[in-house]
Structure 1
Amino acid sequence: MKESLLKHTKREFEDSAIQSNTTAWNIPWQEFEVILGLKNSYSQRNLNILTENQARIFLKNCGFDLTNQSHIKQFEQFYGEALYFIRHVLFTDEERTSFIIPANLLYLKNPCNLLIFASTNHPRKRYLRLWSCSILKVMYAISNLQYSGRLHIIDDAREQIFKRIRNYMHQHKDEKLEFKYKNDSIYLNKVEWKEAKTRTSIVLKLLHKPDSIVDDVFDYLGVRIVVEKSSKIPLLLKLLIETDIIIPHQVVAMRTRNSLLNVKHPKKIFTFLKELKSCGSLSNEEFDNMCENIIWSNEINDEHQKRTNSFTSQHYRSLQFTVRHLVRTPNPAFLVLESMTNQLRRYTGVQRQEPWMESVIPQYFAHYFPIEIQMMDQESYEMAKFGPASHEQYKSQQHKSVRERVLGNLLTFKKEKLASQDF
């Protein structure tokens, strides 16, 4: 009783000390700049949490009630994962040895202290503050990912969406792959499936795009289809539309990337050829041959560059869409209720359907889930795989950007500088 009274008195004293040093016009400028869109949240130099009581209230308002053991456990899980991410994903081997984790953080017992350390302005605790801020940035990205609804339905989404695409793909005895619908078909050089984006790559993506939340990550699932020549891509696109794999009103327009097809010029030529065919000046065979030779190549314009990821090479040429597909996932509560009802039937011997069940608890949940569909010709594919537009180069640039954003001034600490720090 006496101990709890002392703690309460200490908190009141801390809060009154803070209030005595502030006025109504003590503006939190960093927070203003983030909220007004002038800066991103990862650019904040520190927090403004000076007492344990403030930290507890802040964490509770963020969804972590420290009186709840499961919340503490979840916080500790995110904390441990963030430390591992910084040391084993962002640091080099040499940096892991040079930039020692402060003992206060390595043996963190009270989650509130992490926020207090991230708020300190003491010159001798700058190293501790920078470490704390870096950890909090990564923890924020991890918590966004952990509480995303998409992550929990990805297995059902993969199975349902990939099945829709594979239904139209046929492998011949000579191992040639064909995409076929009704009387139309096209041979494919290669098909690559992105079964799932790894947890590490999603966290990297969230950290390198500071304005993103996890629902802005659209490429959890993906398929890349490669054809021999760029002139085949319009036919492939046509088939994907006809099979409802690409549904126009479910395309996320802001995510479309097109550095392969120029539609305006071919459309004019096609209209002209169609008129010639209708008046008998061209036979069906001549019409098909001329359509085959239409040049569809697209010049990379300013609008395309604006919409392209800043880490994507200008040599990367593809047609890329993000399409949302409706997927249905079983409702666990319905499965439990159904199991209980089946057991009840065995005991009572009454075999009848229970239509009321689905009116009480839905059997399935429905969600829109995005898939990224890429189309390329063979030349563009080889450039993307082995040339200056390779995925490795893209990842390298992304990794460099995330290091700068998360670690920042922490990397400037040398041995001489560390000697002046309390950690």
Structure 2
Amino acid sequence: MTGGMTGKPDNREPPLRAGPDSGPLWQGSNGTELSLQDIGEIQLLLRGQSVIDWHRLALSSEADVRRLLSLNALDLGDAGDCERLAELRQQAVRYIVEVLKLRLDESVAERTPWVQIPLLASGKAGPQQRQACMLLKVMHIIHHLDARELRTTLAISDNDIFSLVEESVTRMFDELRTAGVPVVEFSWSRKTKESQVTKLLLKKETSAARVFDRLRFRLIVRHAADLVPTLRILLHRCIPFNYVVPGQTVNTLIDLASLKALHDDGFDTEDGAAPVAPAGPAGLAGANEFSGQSFRLLNFIADLPVRVDSLLPPGARADGKHCVVFVTAEFQIMDKGTAEANEQGDNSHTQYKHRQHQHVRVRLLREPRKP
């Protein structure tokens, strides 16, 4: 796995290793070690929230900052990426000061080295901490918008970009298996044209841009106790938590109350926040209306930053422009026992598709209402 989805050298964490020197990255069951930042990221994912509503980070070192940057396909060791960060910072400052008419301390706006800004946003509450958070949020949005615009101008096929993502995620899961993570099944697929037609006919809004799961990854682990540690690894190695798509999480599997019990600090990035989706069994976020009554899973959508350096013509970055685009992917995660139960009777995929197709038939054949 390399700096987002890319062909550049990886300067994040060393590859996962099996054996006694593999460190605490994988600890299942009751041995899970979660930092405050881990807790916040997993809460955001399970709740389907937006990072824009956060009031603080909880990063503790420059290594944490570099890891998060790398997940966002940015490398402080790359001159072009440093130039890109400086440009994003300038644009964000200009928006905050000129459009929102808010004041920024000069140290936050200009003087503080960029690698220190996320640490400032993780510090003790105060004016500079709030300003650092605000600056990062605006930079986050501008980076996303620019990447979306770049994608529309590049003569690169979806197939080529999807292949980069699939290769990178597959390589990461090979590392997980090597490290002893109990991955029972890992698979990926691309949504067929027929499935996309069905999905859009089911939706009230019929925009193709709203089909989030054209690229899908499915992961099954051995035990329910392995789910949270696996999420932690995904958020460390593959998925930038700040680009988890808000409002698109379906969680009928992991109880947020049990997650909070893993840490007694009480850290919460959004005080009093509640899950976005309707409540399901045991207070968990509600499921797809076409799923069986007892169907359970964790399903979420993420925008994955992809570096397209290798697909650009030679010298394309000479003008200092960024080379990151985004691919939206769906992740479906569950434990083995849940996966087996999900294939029984009313929960089966066959029955799920039957209910979808029946709903489409009714909608297409709908007769005018009688007076």
TM-score by length of 1: 0.42
- Which protein has the bigger helix share? 1
